[in-house]
Structure 1
Amino acid sequence: MELTEAGPEAGPGTTRPGGRTARVRAAVLRAAGDVLAEQGFAHLDLADIARRAEVGKTTVYRRWGSVTGLVTDLLLDMAQQSVPRTETGSLLGDLKANTGLVRRTLADPRQGALFKAVIAAATCDPKAAEALHGFYAVRVEEWAPCVEQAAARGEVPGGTDAHEVIRAASAPLYYRLLTTALPLDEAAADRAATAAAAAARAGAYVREA
């Protein structure tokens, strides 16, 4: 991914560095992700992250400023690095591709733990919540055209809220992750996609006038 430098007014996560700056950012974000996955949001400390990433503490404080600034940038980077949407030619196929990607991410030991930590932090930290909302806004926006294309093909009614369909497809997987000890298997991902597609075809997500 090619990155360029943003202006001085940019907040955490908005700069797009190159060269050494990119390597520093990658090392710091990797260290932050490791701590989140292993110990949770409460144990994030900028000085510790700098030590783990083997970069200057001053650099970390100057660039990210706070733990929530660092988490914001981490989620931005994850959104940017996420696999782009898959177009299969059918709504169900596209939604299964989406839920399959979500399942693999959440079932991954490191990624699943990281998301649990950020979701937990978002319940009590407004800035962490804002960062999490931003991450999902990017991912939902990426996949929404699948539903819009389905509407154009006549698979779902006109006026179907594409963003709501995408959220509905992955929601059961997050519920399963956060409220049960059941495995996140392919069958669960396929059921979630099938249910969302059926509801969309039935008009459940048509926007109200």
Structure 2
Amino acid sequence: MSSMGAEPGTVRPGGRTARVRAAVLQAAGDALAEHGFAHLDLTDVARRAEVGKTTVYRRWGTVTSLVADLLADMAEQSLPRTESGSLLGDLTANARLVQRTLADPRQGALFKAVIAAATGDTRTAEALHHFYDTRVNEWAPCVQQAVDRGELPENTDTHEVVRAVSAPLYYRFLTTNSLLDEAAADRAAEAAVAAARAGAYLRSRGM
């Protein structure tokens, strides 16, 4: 097993399956970041992970299934929300987390590869949507707390506010070569808070 194996004594008996999955998903993420979805190959992933290719083919079967599992794991492993006591503080923490992820050379390349693949592959698109739904659901309570504190209008769509924080960061990430820095993250959070306070994200009355 490669260095992805857990430290001695930290794995429950029977934990080999979890170790194999972790090694394979790490290898898949590395390969995606380096070469993109089109060149992702299960045999290469097995070699990188130092796992038998039969194991990889039996468990995942296709590149699409492997990428779906990678995204599921990323959603599970993502950092929990930060609660600062203010909406701006919470959403700034969210924006900076997104910014750090996209600005990271490996993670940024990985997301570009998966987003590109999702435009032409339904299973990958579904997995990507699930990833973002998980992250939005994690942070939406911060917005609901702001509603409860009276910071935002009563009928605010909490999920739309969270999406509004990430949207300009992803747009800049995918359409420009400019540096995605903390200043961009802070502006995104400030803009989302200002718009939410102004009632831009109210649910329609029919909902």
Residue 53 of structure 1, aligned match among 37, 49, 70: 49
Q: List per-residue Cα deviations over 1:111-145 (Å, max 9, x = no partner).
A: 00000000000111111111110100100000000
Say if 2:152 is the partner of 1:181: no
Partner of 1:32 in structure 2?
28
Q: TM-score normalised to the size of structure 1?
A: 0.90
CA distance in 1, matches of 2:80, 2:144: 16
Report deviation, 1:102: 0.3
Partner of 2:203 in structure 1?
207
CA distance in 2, matches of 1:18, 1:95: 40
Q: List per-residue Cα deviations over 1:29-67 (Å, max 9, x = no partner).
A: 011000100000001111111111111111111111211
Residue 143 of structure 1, aligned match among 139, 151, 161: 139
The alignment-based identity, stated in percent, is 78
Runs of 5+ unmatched residues, structure 1: 1-16
Report deviation, 1:18: 5.6
Q: List per-residue Cα deviations over 1:161-193 (Å, max 9, x = no partner).
A: 111000000111100110001101111000000
Report deviation, 1:195: 0.3
Residue 196 of structure 1, aligned match among 178, 181, 192: 192
Q: TM-score normalised to the size of structure 2?
A: 0.91
Alignment CA distance shift 1:201-1:116 (3 Å)? same
CA distance in 2, matches of 1:169, 1:73: 26
CA distance in 1, matches of 2:157, 2:61: 38
CA distance in 2, matches of 1:162, 1:65: 38
CA distance in 2, matches of 1:184, 1:35: 23
Q: Secondary structure at the match of 1:143?
A: helix
Partner of 2:149 in structure 1?
153
Question: Which aligned segments of 4 or more residues in structure 1 are displaced greater than 6 angstroms?
Answer: none
Residue 62 of structure 1, aligned match among 50, 58, 61: 58
Q: Secondary structure at the match of 2:177?
A: coil
CA distance in 1, matches of 2:25, 2:96: 25
Say if 2:79 is the partner of 1:83: yes
Runs of 5+ unmatched residues, structure 2: 1-12
Residue 122 of structure 1, aligned match among 114, 118, 123: 118
